[in-house]
Amino acid sequence: MAIQGAEATYIMLLFSVAFFCARFLLDRLVYKPLAVYLFSRLMNDEAKQVKIVKFSESIWKLTYYASVQAWVLSIIKQEPWSLDKMQYFDGWPNQYMAYYSIPFLRMQPEFPTSLYYMFNTMLLTLFVFHVYWGKLIFLMIKKQLNNRGQVGDDVRSDSEEEE
């Protein structure tokens, strides 16, 4: 029951225009007034404008993903297998099942495997990563304490002034 041909193109254009209109109308009529109401007493003008923009983008993402999830769940609920768990694997397997013992042949390799060295190398690499990540975490905590909770530079990236 897939839609094909020119009808699919028209439906695609309709959805793209509808999404644009829905985003515009919800942003202007609901999200920004709600953000102004929530953030009006808390911050000054510059910080308030940034928070309003971020809030409206985040609430749009929440609305979009929640509506897509509700749509998917409504479609799945119409399927017969979604309510009856006995239909999940209906008719599978239809073959005779038995346990066959296969003789295990011990093969002697020509050269001994170096799993010991590979395992130790992986452990040392993991140790180096943990030391590096620990250093980054402690530097971020130190910088956050020095800035008294204000957002500062990120210690993970180089700044342009250091070049």
Q: What is the mean pLDDT of each run of 10 residues along the chain (163 residues)?
A: 82 93 95 88 76 92 96 90 80 63 57 78 96 93 82 66 57
Task: Write down the pLDDT at residue 115.
Answer: 79
Q: Would you list the domain boundaries of the chain? A: 7-82, 115-158
Task: Write down the pLDDT at residue 157.
Answer: 67
Longest dimension (CA), the chain: 77
Task: Decide: residue 131, CB within 10 A, 0-12 exposed, 13-18 middle, 19+ buried.
Answer: exposed
Single out the residue of 33, 29, 23, 21 nearest to residue 57, CA to CA.
Answer: 23
Angle between helices 6-26 and 45-77 (to 10 degrees): 140
Task: Write down the pLDDT at residue 99.
Answer: 57
Task: Write down the pLDDT at residue 109.
Answer: 62
Q: Where are the alpha helices (DSSP H) in 40-153?
A: 45-77, 115-146
- The pTM of the full predicted model, rounded to 2 decimals, is 0.49
